[in-house]
Structure 1
Amino acid sequence: MRGRDRINLILPDELILEIFGHLDSKSSRDACSLVCKRWLDLERSSRDTIRIGASASPDALVNFLARRFVNVRKVYFDERLSIPRLGQSAKIGRRRGIGQSVLSSLTHHMNDKIGSEDGEMESHFLSDSGLTVVGECFTKLEKLSLIWCSNVTSFGLKSIAERCSSLRSLDLQGCYVGDQGLAAVGECCKQLEDLNLRFCEGLTDRGLVELALGCGKSLKSLGVAACAKITDVSLEAVGSHCGVLEALSLDSEFINNKGVLAVAKGCHLLKVLKLQCINVSDEALQAVSDFCHSLEWLALYSFQKFTDRSLYAIGKGCKKLKNLTLSDCYFLSDKGLEAVAGGCSELTYLEVNGCHNIGTSGLESIGRSCIHLSELALLYCQKIGNSALSEVGKGCKYLQALHLVDCSSIGDDAICSIARGCTNLKKLHIRRCYEVGDKGIIAVGENCKFLTDLSLRFCDRVGDEALIAIGQGCSLHQLNVSGCHQIGDAGIIAIARSCPQLSYLDISVLQNLSDMAMDELGKGCPLLKDIVLSHCRLITDVGLAHLVKRCTLLESCHMVYCPGITAAGVATVISSCVNIKKVLVEKAKVSQRTKRRAESIISYLCVDL
């Protein structure tokens, strides 16, 4: 733009900011910020979100970012997410065209901040001082997420609360904050709507009660899990003061009927309820049915005291229910599911997981009554047979996703019924259903023209004919045929020639797959980003070279236990794929040169102990 800078002379700041607002990726915004100093300043002023993973010195990084992005409203820390060392980042940045000056500046800044050896150990985790900087610099903060920031205490949280009164969302998952910090949030953040307290082991009833008293009028969503000192006392306060609560998630051994009853009676606007509480019984669900008529989402996990009485109540009182998950609820039977089907005709999502007394007749009633069902997941349901899915195929014309795991009584007849009746199907995931073979999958290929996501893991009766039919009828974006040992080159070649939009492929444990298939994938699937080809014994460096020659967008490649792939093949992947982010391989197949070049993106199946 030097010399004839017509754009900058004509475009006002407001219009450039509007353009930045329409960019849908961070990389695009970063690229625009490198155009000139004016664009850099404008992009910085418009940036409203910062995400920080585990880093060498998060406190120093916060200081660095706070001076550059002054209008940030959303800050996300997640110390589960690792990032490469800064030196490695600079090497990768130069290779991929990232602004070298930005990385260099960040590197020098971080190095200046790291002090003594003891301080260096401490600096690997966000501390209260770093959180204080967040509060001081980002006073417009609306969302704050502190995932597993174990060094943050009540002092840091209190500093945030006192300076960021506009806070609306707070995620403290895995933080060991105490009652004082939570009480300060309740006192200062009167607009708080969403609060996540999963695995906050330092909290007691006192902190949550004071928060409910302080911002109960605005709180809409609350999650509590593995907080041993939070009991029914807290839920009674929530029920008394949080009248606009819409979502509640509880995972606790210390919550009883009394607490859930209090919430049901006091929070009539409740729409989402997720419970994993072994001491809660039918009485609590009866209260939910009586008072929470707006309930749309109900998830019950590992209940040993719930019976069909609970589902009778839900079917009778919660007519707006759309999403139901039943996981490891051993005393629920077909009759309970029939009651839900009869009363909750608006149901769109159903998951039945490990409920061993629910069988064919319960699912048949869903197929007959819940015509709006769009997603069905049946996991470890040994008693559900083909006729159940036949009814779903007849009645649920809007079904778009079907998940089947370890359903030993479901076979080709069921899949054929789904294929013929649910022609809008977009996602089909089947795992270890050994009665499903070519016949059912061929029917899917012939009838489900909108299918884009197909997973057939360890379905050992599915072979090449099935994939040929899928290729002829569908344009897949994702395919997983891991462990389908009858599939060979013919099936994968059919997919490669018919599915140019394919971005994810798992062909692991296919013993008959050769380099010929890799060559066809390279020619036909240029958008491929993720491939898993572990345990493929016939694939060699030659096939891998054909694949990566044209699949330039590849980001991850898993290739362990492939005896035909050597250190040369691994080096080919690293050097050919400029976007590669993860390579999973045996340590012995990584040369020293490859390790020096891309150590940060290589993961090993086995590491030295």
Structure 2
Amino acid sequence: MENFSNYFNTNGSVVANGKTNLYHKSDVCINDSLPKELIIRVFSYLDITTLCKCSQVCKFWYECAFDGSNWKSINLFDFQRYVQPKVVEKIAQRSRGFLRELRLKGCRNVTDEALKCFTELCHMIESLDLSGCQNLTNGTCDYLGKNCSLLTTLSLESCSRIDDAGLEMLSWCSNLTCLDVSWCSVGDRGLTAIARGCKSLQRFRAIGCQEITSRGVEQLARHCHGLLLLNLNYCGQGVTDEAMVHLSIGCPDLRVLAISHCSITDQGLRAIAGTLSPAAAAAIVGQATSTSQQNGIPLILPVVTSNGSVNNQDASSPNGNINNHGDRDNNRRQKTNDSNKITLIPVGCVSLTTLEVARCSAITDIGLSAIARVCNKLEKLDLEDCALVTDSTLAQLAVHCPRLNTLVLSHCDQVTDEGIARLAEGLCGPDQLQTLAMDNCPLLTDAALEHLGSNCRKLRQLDLYDCQLITKQGINSLELHYPQLQIHAYFAPGTPPALTFARRRRYCRCCRII
């Protein structure tokens, strides 16, 4: 931070524009008392609305308010309805090389032409949020790829007109570390371009991109070994256990993995945990290999050799090597050499802190137990609609996951009071568990609430919708122990008793029987 004491002398005078001015209460104009640099520095702490109001005070303040150094970070989310393309262009002209961060989230009126002007003037931009800008097309990606080489964070969420061609242009931003293309029209081709061009990628979100399959994920695993967050929720049935095998080999530092509504089974979870055998991993990848060969597509796999090195190999060649010279005899001799024998070994993502597998209906206690035993740093686990999960998984979490603070068990029909008791009394229950969703669990009773009340001192949110065996009395008792606890529950109103009506006459009161 700048040392403001340099502007002040010991006698209370102020050094402004090279001259020493004495400050008196009778002085009216602050512009003569403080140097321009100091006023600009004060303005840098103001929000956009206040800064614009200050610019209307006088011409001098106008110049100070719109100094480029005050516009390093701009957030226009609160003005999204009123932001027109000309606004973006004026911001670019004012800030130019000073601007580092710009948020245009929800600004639907912004167009490609406005972003073209912006990218040509603001080459130093590092973080850009364009989520919800539905008028943007692949042209914006072209401008960003050509002009913004320092871009590290980009959000294109819900920009549905951006597709694989746009991501291919965007891949020129080689410094990207965080990219969000959720609900865009992208698939494996665009994902491949990003993986090859942006090898420093650490956080990637592609929620709802149903054209992405395990082949695209395999490209990420091959090229982006520093990946920390991967969100593929709602990507559909194309993301399978094969993708998990590739991630377990190529992305061992993965922290957050969200694969809800994907086609994942216990084998995929065991690969993430690093407990899947090489033979099983080879069988999973082999199925993909045969399918790829039928389609004429070569499958490149990251494999681990006996000396621990990771190589990219062609699974369709005899020994998994890419050999353009066609020396098959040499390949066979190399394959027989035990020292160079290639083995597909899932290393695992043992540093996982968040795992979301909601509606992965094939997952059972087998895969989740493997995760719990190996991923001891787990903090959040979403098991919504995993109907095959039982108390066995909760017992494993209680013993092996001391950091677990958020657990979603919605629609886990086989979870009982015993499982909740094991969880509450386990390593995470007393000091870590803060959010627990167990709505639509038909076997839970008030006994589960008693276990939570006796052990989970830090519990802050509890979801109990449609737990038919839990009563209002049980909830009231829990609220007495933890008044800070937010309990979300619903009880259908009782059926009103049938009303007995006196028998009515079948004729109008004003009529008379003759």
TM-score by length of 1: 0.59
Deviation track 1:414-438 (CA, whole Å, cap 9, x = no partner) reads 4355345546x3x51423146xxxx
Aligned twin of 1:229: 211
Change in Cα spacing, 1:403 to 1:9, as seen in structure 2 (3 Å) is: farther
Looking at structure 2, the residues matched to 15 and 402 of structure 1 have their Cα atoms a distance apart, in angstroms, of 51
Aligned twin of 2:223: 241
**Unmatched tracts of structure 2, length 5 or more:** 1-25, 275-347, 495-514
Looking at structure 2, the residues matched to 183 and 29 of structure 1 have their Cα atoms a distance apart, in angstroms, of 39
Q: How many Å apart are 1:14 and its aligned residue?
A: 4.3
**Unmatched tracts of structure 1, length 5 or more:** 82-123, 435-457, 461-609
Deviation track 1:4-42 (CA, whole Å, cap 9, x = no partner) reads 44533333344434434444x544444444443333333
Q: How many Å apart are 1:412 and its aligned residue?
A: 4.4
Question: For residue 10 of structure 1, what is the amino acid of its counterpart?
Answer: S
Looking at structure 1, the residues matched to 393 and 163 of structure 2 have their Cα atoms a distance apart, in angstroms, of 42
**Are positions 1:265 and 2:290 aligned together?**
no
Change in Cα spacing, 1:126 to 1:21, as seen in structure 2 (3 Å) is: closer
Aligned twin of 2:93: 67
Change in Cα spacing, 1:15 to 1:429, as seen in structure 2 (3 Å) is: farther
Question: For residue 43 of structure 1, what is the amino acid of its counterpart?
Answer: A
Question: Alignment partner of 1:147: what SS?
Answer: coil
Question: For residue 447 of structure 2, what is the amino acid of its counterpart?
Answer: S
Select the residue among 38, 42, 48 that pairs with 2:60. 38
Q: Which protein, 1 or 2, shows the higher relative CO under an 8 Å CA cutoff with sep ≥ 6?
A: 2
Question: Alignment partner of 2:438: what SS?
Answer: strand
Question: For residue 387 of structure 1, what is the amino acid of its counterpart?
Answer: A
Change in Cα spacing, 1:128 to 1:26, as seen in structure 2 (3 Å) is: closer
- Superposed, 1:20-39 pairs within 5 Å as 20-23=43-46, 25-39=47-61
Q: How many Å apart are 1:57 and its aligned residue?
A: 7.6
TM-score by length of 2: 0.69
Q: How many Å apart are 1:367 and its aligned residue?
A: 0.8
Change in Cα spacing, 1:207 to 1:431, as seen in structure 2 (3 Å) is: same
Looking at structure 1, the residues matched to 83 and 372 of structure 2 have their Cα atoms a distance apart, in angstroms, of 53
Q: How many Å apart are 1:245 and its aligned residue?
A: 0.9
Looking at structure 2, the residues matched to 215 and 41 of structure 1 have their Cα atoms a distance apart, in angstroms, of 39
Question: For residue 410 of structure 1, what is the amino acid of its counterpart?
Answer: I
Change in Cα spacing, 1:415 to 1:36, as seen in structure 2 (3 Å) is: farther
User: Conserved in 1, the CA contact under 8 Å of 2:409 and 2:439?
Assistant: yes
Aligned twin of 1:219: 201
**Are positions 1:428 and 2:486 aligned together?**
yes
How many residues align? The count is 387
User: Conserved in 1, the CA contact under 8 Å of 2:424 and 2:455?
Assistant: yes
Change in Cα spacing, 1:309 to 1:21, as seen in structure 2 (3 Å) is: farther
User: Conserved in 2, the CA contact under 8 Å of 1:341 and 1:365?
Assistant: yes
Aligned twin of 1:466: none
User: Conserved in 1, the CA contact under 8 Å of 2:372 and 2:397?
Assistant: yes
Looking at structure 1, the residues matched to 141 and 35 of structure 2 have their Cα atoms a distance apart, in angstroms, of 40
Deviation track 1:464-504 (CA, whole Å, cap 9, x = no partner) reads xxxxxxxxxxxxxxxxxxxxxxxxxxxxxxxxxxxxxxxxx
Deviation track 1:213-271 (CA, whole Å, cap 9, x = no partner) reads 1112x211111133233221211111111111111111212111111221122111111
Looking at structure 1, the residues matched to 449 and 440 of structure 2 have their Cα atoms a distance apart, in angstroms, of 15
Question: Alignment partner of 1:190: what SS?
Answer: coil
Question: For residue 151 of structure 2, what is the amino acid of its counterpart?
Answer: L
Q: How many Å apart are 1:285 and its aligned residue?
A: 1.0
Q: How many Å apart are 1:336 and its aligned residue?
A: 1.5
Q: How many Å apart are 1:368 and its aligned residue?
A: 0.5
The structure that is strand-richer by fraction is 1
Question: For residue 99 of structure 2, what is the amino acid of its counterpart?
Answer: V
Larger Rg: 2
Deviation track 1:504-548 (CA, whole Å, cap 9, x = no partner) reads xxxxxxxxxxxxxxxxxxxxxxxxxxxxxxxxxxxxxxxxxxxxx
Identity %: 28
Looking at structure 2, the residues matched to 422 and 431 of structure 1 have their Cα atoms a distance apart, in angstroms, of 16
User: Conserved in 2, the CA contact under 8 Å of 1:247 and 1:272?
Assistant: yes
Question: For residue 167 of structure 2, what is the amino acid of its counterpart?
Answer: L
Looking at structure 1, the residues matched to 392 and 90 of structure 2 have their Cα atoms a distance apart, in angstroms, of 61
User: Conserved in 2, the CA contact under 8 Å of 1:278 and 1:305?
Assistant: no
Q: What is the RMSD of the two structures over their aligned residues, measured on CA atoms?
A: 2.8
- Superposed, 1:355-370 pairs within 5 Å as 355-369=412-426, 370=428
Question: Alignment partner of 1:327: what SS?
Answer: coil
Greater mean deviation of Cα atoms: 177-186 or 322-331: 177-186
Question: For residue 385 of structure 2, what is the amino acid of its counterpart?
Answer: D
Question: For residue 219 of structure 1, what is the amino acid of its counterpart?
Answer: L
User: Conserved in 1, the CA contact under 8 Å of 2:158 and 2:182?
Assistant: yes
- Superposed, 1:138-287 pairs within 5 Å as 138-175=122-159, 176-187=161-172, 189-201=173-185, 203-216=186-199, 218-250=200-232, 251-253=234-236, 254-287=238-271
The structure that is helix-richer by fraction is 1
Question: For residue 236 of structure 1, what is the amino acid of its counterpart?
Answer: E
Question: For residue 40 of structure 1, what is the amino acid of its counterpart?
Answer: Y
Question: For residue 294 of structure 1, what is the amino acid of its counterpart?
Answer: S
Change in Cα spacing, 1:151 to 1:361, as seen in structure 2 (3 Å) is: same
Looking at structure 1, the residues matched to 39 and 193 of structure 2 have their Cα atoms a distance apart, in angstroms, of 45
User: Conserved in 2, the CA contact under 8 Å of 1:367 and 1:389?
Assistant: no
Looking at structure 2, the residues matched to 12 and 409 of structure 1 have their Cα atoms a distance apart, in angstroms, of 71
Question: For residue 190 of structure 1, what is the amino acid of its counterpart?
Answer: S
Looking at structure 1, the residues matched to 372 and 83 of structure 2 have their Cα atoms a distance apart, in angstroms, of 53
Question: For residue 63 of structure 2, what is the amino acid of its counterpart?
Answer: D
Question: For residue 75 of structure 1, what is the amino acid of its counterpart?
Answer: L
Question: For residue 62 of structure 2, what is the amino acid of its counterpart?
Answer: L
